Amino acid sequence: MLKGKKIIAIGERDGVPGPVIAECLQGAGYEVVFQATECFV
């Protein structure tokens, strides 16, 4: 589904952090062009 797409990964403090999302997607061969963790409270 994400094949060939550039990925922006936004993680969340009380959920999954950005670097974790990026690492999973990069490990699966996808291109993460930006990742960050944010706090929405």
Partner 1 sequence: MAKFIKPVRVGIEGVFYSLAHVPDLVRYGSKPLREIRANSALGDELHQKLRGFNAAVAYAPHQAYIGNIAPERLSDLPKPWYDKLIEGATFQGRFGDLVEQNRFYVLLAAADQFDLVSLENGWFHDQDTQPNVRGPKLHSTTEIQALCDKGALPLYSGERLIGAFEAAHPEDASLAAEVLLENLAAKVTAAHSLRALCKQLDLDPGEIDFVFSCSEEAVGDRYNRGGGNLAKAIAEQVGCIKASGCDVKAFCAGPMYAVVQAASLVQSGVAKRVAVVAGGSLAKLGMKFESHVKKNMPVLEDVLGSFAVILSAAKPGEPCVRLDSAAFHPVGAGASPQAMAENLAEKPLAKLGMKLTDVDRYGVELHNPEITVPSGSGDVPRTNYLTLAALAVMRGQIAKAEMEDFVHTRGMLGYAPTQGHIPSAIVYLGHAVERLRAKQIRHALLIAKGSLFLGRMTQLSDGCSFLVDRNDA
Long-range contacts of the stretch 14-21 (C-beta < 8 A, 24+)? 14/41
Residue 16: CB minimum distance to partner 1, A? 7
User: Does 20 interact with partner 1 (rule: CB under 8 A)?
Assistant: yes
Give the three-class secondary structure for 5. coil
- Spatial distance between the Cα atoms of 1 and 38, rounded to a whole number of angstroms: 25
Cβ proximity to partner 1, 5 vs 33, nearer residue: 33
Residue 34: CB minimum distance to partner 1, A? 13
Give the binding site for partner 1 (CB under 8 A). Answer: 13-20, 36-41
